[in-house]
A and B are shown apart, each in its own frame.
Chain A
Amino acid sequence: MGITISNISKSYKNVKALQDISFDVKPGELFGLIGPDGAGKTTLFRILTTLLIANEGTATVVGFDVVADYKKIRNSVGYMPGKFSLYQDLTVEENLSFFATIFGTTIEENYDLIKDIYVQIEPFKDRRAGKLSGGMKQKLALCCALIHKPKVLFLDEPTTGVDPVSRKEFWDMLKRLQQKDITILVSTPYMDEAALCDRIALIQHGKILEIDTPQAIVKHYPKQIYNVRANNMYQLITSLNKYEHHHSVYPFGEFVHYTDNRADINPNDLILYLESNNLLDVEIAKTVATIEDTFMELAK
C-alpha cells in the first residue's frame, strides 16, 4: 500500500532522465531519495504524482496505478514541489484554507495533523506568503500539502535553500508525521539528511546506485578512510591526487577524505610524501565512512 516502482524509464528528447528504476516504499516508511541536481529526482516525483507519464515501466501509489487511476492518486497524496509553489499574493491563512477547500476539507477538521507546524507560522497568518522567509515558506508549503490528511506525502527537496536550524526542525516534523501513519518520500541533495531516513536510495544520472538503510550503506563502504589535514588545502588535494597509490581524494570540511589502493598502509609513508611536497603540519587519522563517501565511491 505504499509505493511500488518497477522498471520505470523516462527520457526527454535526447536526455535519459530515468533508466530502469525499481524500488518499493513500505507503508509508514520515511524514504529518502538522495542525489545531486539533475539526477532525475524531480522526474521520478512527477511520475509518481501522476504529472508525467513514464516511457516504460509501471508504478503504483497507495495501490493505484499512476496512469490508469491518476484521479484516485490525486485525491490521496500530498505533494510539495521543489520550487515554492504557493500563491505569493495570498496570506498564510488564505493559502491554507484554499488548499483545504479544494481537497474538500477544512483547516479545523485536520488541525491536529498540522498543529505542530502551523503554530510556528500562525503568528504570521495575515502575512502574504511571498513575504515569508525561506524556512517559513517551506513550513507553510508542508502544511498545505498535509491539510487533506494524505496517505502518502511527496516532498521534493523541501530543505533546499533553508537555513540549518530550520532544516533540523523540518526533519523533526517529518519524523513526527511518520508516527501518524503517513508514508513519506523525500528527496534531498544534502547527504547529512540521508541519515535521518529509514531507508535511502542513492540516485545519479537517472540510475539507482544503491538502496538500503543509511547505517547499512555506510557499513558496506569497502575501504578505510583517512582524515588528512595540512597547512595548504589546495596543494594537499593536488599532491594526494598525484600520489601513486591514491584511490579517492575528496575535500570534506576542514579535512580531506583519503582512501588508498593498498589494503594496508603506513600513514608515515604518506606524511613523508606530503612533506616532500612542501606541505607542513600534516595530520592523518582513521575515520568512519559517511553517506557522502559512499555516494562518491558509487558514483565514481
Chain B
Amino acid sequence: MKRFIGFIKKEFYHIFRDRRSLFILFGMPIAQILLFGFAITNEINNVDIAILDHSKDATTKEIINKIASSKYFSTKQIINREEDIASVFKKGQVKAVLNFEKDFSKNLIKENKATIQIITDATDPNTANTISNYVNAILQKYQKELNKDITMVYQIVPETRMVYNPELKSVYMFVPGVMTIILMLVSAMMTSISITREKELGTMEILLVSPLKPIQVIIGKVFPYIFLSIINAAIIVMLSIFIFKMPVQGSLFLLGLESILFIISALALGILISTISATQQTAMMISLMALMLPVILLSGFIFPISSMPLPLQVISNIIPAKWFIIIIKGIMLKDVGLQFIWKETLILLGMTVFFMTLSVKKYKIRLE
C-alpha cells in the first residue's frame, strides 16, 4: 500500500509540474463549454436582412416593423431596385431579402391576396431554412391579427409543445456532448501519454525491474486522472448550471456515479492505447483518431444516430460515449432514475470491465 501511495504521489508531481498539460486539462473544458454554449449554436439571432419595398404603404411598413422589432432580425439595408438583390448577397452583407410586390395594401384589400417574396442565402441551408420559417411565422401571426374578426369555418390548429427543452436551447444538447468529449479526451489521452512517456524516457525499464506489480502501476497511473476528471465534470456541470441556466433535473449523485463509470472506461481505453504505442506522439494520434472522431461523429452528440445509415448505427453501439450521452441526457434533462437507464449503465459497465481486463492482460511485464 505504501508503494502504491508513493507511486500516486509521484504521478501528481508529474501532473502539477507540467504547467502546459495542466492548463489544457482545466482550460480546455471551460473554453469548449463556453464556445459551444455561446458561439456555436443552431439558433438565429440578429440576422441581417435587406428590404425591397415596391409599394411603401401602411401595411408593408407595419410588417417591416414587426420583423425588425423581433430579436431574430435586424434590417440592415433598404434597397430600391431588383438588381441590387444579387449584389447585396454577393457582398455577403445580408442573409435574406424581403421583396414586397407593388401595391401591396391595395392588392390585399381588393383581391384579398398580396405576395411577398422571401429570398434567402442558402449557402448555409440550415440557417436559410430557419430564417424562412421565422419570417413565415411572423407573417402568419400578422395575418391572424388582420382576420381576427372573421371566423373561419373549418380550422385545424396544430398545437406543438416541445418538452424537456421548451425553448429549444442548443446548449442543452451541447453540454452532455461536450462533457462526454472532454472526459474521454482527458482520461484516455492523458493516461496513454503518461504511460508512454515512461516508455519513451526509459523509466519504464526501471519500473519493470522493481517489485511493483502491473496492476499497481496501472491503478497508480489511472487514479490521479479519475480524480482530475471528476473535478472537470463538476466544473462543466457548474458552468452549465450557472452560466447557461441549464437545469439539472435529476439526481446529481447519480450523475456523479455515472460519470465516474464513464471516466474509468475512458481510462481503460487510454491504458489499452498505451500498450500498443511506443511513443507519446503515437499515443496522442491514436487517442485523437480512434477516440475523438467516433465520439464526435457517431455518439449521437451532433448527428442523430437514428438518421444514420444502418452500418453506422450498428457501429455506434460499440462506442461508450453513445451510452453515456443517453444516460446523462436522461438524468440532466428528463430527471430519470436508474430504473430507466440501467440497461445503458450495464452496457457501459460491461465495456469498462472488458477494457480494464484487456489492458491488464496486455500490459507487458518485459520489454518485448
Give the distance to chain A from B3, nearest Cβ to Cβ, in Å.
5
- Is B201 close to A, CB under 8 A? yes
On chain A, the residues within 8 Å of B202 by CB distance are: 81, 83-85
B10, B14, B205: the one within 8 Å of A81 (CB): B205
Whether A52 contacts B13 in the complex (CB less than 8 A), given A75-B211, A86-B203, A104-B211, comes out as no
On chain A, the residues within 8 Å of B18 by CB distance are: 89
Interface residues of B in 309-368 (CB under 8 A from A): 365-368
- Is A285 close to B, CB under 8 A? no
B2 and A51: CB pair below 8 A?
A: no
- Is A71 close to B, CB under 8 A? yes
B210 and A53: CB pair below 8 A?
A: no
B209 and A94: CB pair below 8 A?
A: no
- Is A77 close to B, CB under 8 A? yes
Whether A101 contacts B366 in the complex (CB less than 8 A), given A81-B206, A86-B203, A89-B18, comes out as no
- Is A205 close to B, CB under 8 A? no
A74 and B10: CB pair below 8 A?
A: no
Interface residues of A in 227-266 (CB under 8 A from B): none
- Is A64 close to B, CB under 8 A? no
Whether A50 contacts B201 in the complex (CB less than 8 A), given A89-B13, A102-B210, comes out as no
* In the bound complex, CA of A87 to CA of B212 (Å): 17
A89 and B17: CB pair below 8 A?
A: yes
B203 and A85: CB pair below 8 A?
A: yes
B3, B14, B201, B205: the one within 8 Å of A101 (CB): B3
- Is B305 close to A, CB under 8 A? no
A52 and B211: CB pair below 8 A?
A: no
A71 and B211: CB pair below 8 A?
A: yes
A87 and B211: CB pair below 8 A?
A: no
The number of A-B residue pairs with CB atoms under 8 Å apart is 78
Query: By CB atoms of chain B within 10 A, which of A49, A51, A88 has the most?
Result: A51
A52 and B2: CB pair below 8 A?
A: no
Q: Residue of B at shortest CB range from A88? A: B201
* In the bound complex, CA of A181 to CA of B203 (Å): 27
Query: By CB atoms of chain B within 10 A, which of A46, A71, A77 has the most?
Result: A46
A85 and B206: CB pair below 8 A?
A: yes
A89 and B14: CB pair below 8 A?
A: yes
Whether A74 contacts B209 in the complex (CB less than 8 A), given A50-B366, A104-B3, comes out as yes
- Is B6 close to A, CB under 8 A? yes
On chain A, the residues within 8 Å of B366 by CB distance are: 50-53
- Is B7 close to A, CB under 8 A? yes
* In the bound complex, CA of A94 to CA of B12 (Å): 12
* In the bound complex, CA of A64 to CA of B209 (Å): 14
Interface residues of A in 82-139 (CB under 8 A from B): 83-90, 94, 97-99, 101-104
* In the bound complex, CA of A88 to CA of B201 (Å): 9
Q: Residue of A at shortest CB range from B13? A: A90
Interface residues of B in 200-225 (CB under 8 A from A): 201-203, 205-212
Q: Residue of B at shortest CB range from A85? A: B202
Give the distance to chain B from A129, nearest Cβ to Cβ, in Å.
11
On chain B, the residues within 8 Å of A84 by CB distance are: 202
* In the bound complex, CA of A53 to CA of B368 (Å): 9
On chain B, the residues within 8 Å of A101 by CB distance are: 2-3, 5-7
Give the distance to chain B from A70, nearest Cβ to Cβ, in Å.
8
B3 and A87: CB pair below 8 A?
A: no
A53, A71, A104: the one within 8 Å of B2 (CB): A104
B2, B6, B14: the one within 8 Å of A87 (CB): B14
Give the distance to chain A from B274, nearest Cβ to Cβ, in Å.
17
Whether A102 contacts B212 in the complex (CB less than 8 A), given A52-B368, A89-B14, A94-B10, comes out as yes
* In the bound complex, CA of A102 to CA of B209 (Å): 11
On chain B, the residues within 8 Å of A46 by CB distance are: 367
B17 and A79: CB pair below 8 A?
A: no
B203 and A87: CB pair below 8 A?
A: yes
* In the bound complex, CA of A51 to CA of B210 (Å): 11
* In the bound complex, CA of A49 to CA of B205 (Å): 10
A49 and B209: CB pair below 8 A?
A: yes
B6, B17, B201: the one within 8 Å of A102 (CB): B6
B208 and A51: CB pair below 8 A?
A: yes
Give the distance to chain A from B219, nearest Cβ to Cβ, in Å.
14
* In the bound complex, CA of A65 to CA of B9 (Å): 33
Give the distance to chain B from A45, nearest Cβ to Cβ, in Å.
10
Interface residues of B in 1-52 (CB under 8 A from A): 2-3, 5-7, 9-10, 13-14, 17-18
12 A-B interface contacts by CB (under 8 A): A79-B205, A79-B206, A81-B202, A84-B202, A85-B201, A85-B206, A86-B203, A86-B206, A87-B10, A90-B10, A90-B13, A101-B6
Nearest 3 CB-CB pairings of A with B: A101-B6, A85-B202, A79-B209
Given contacts A52-B368, A89-B14, A102-B6, 4 further A-B contacts (CB under 8 A): A90-B10, A94-B13, A98-B6, A103-B210
Q: Which residues of B contact A (CB under 8 A)?
A: 2-3, 5-7, 9-10, 13-14, 17-18, 201-203, 205-212, 365-368
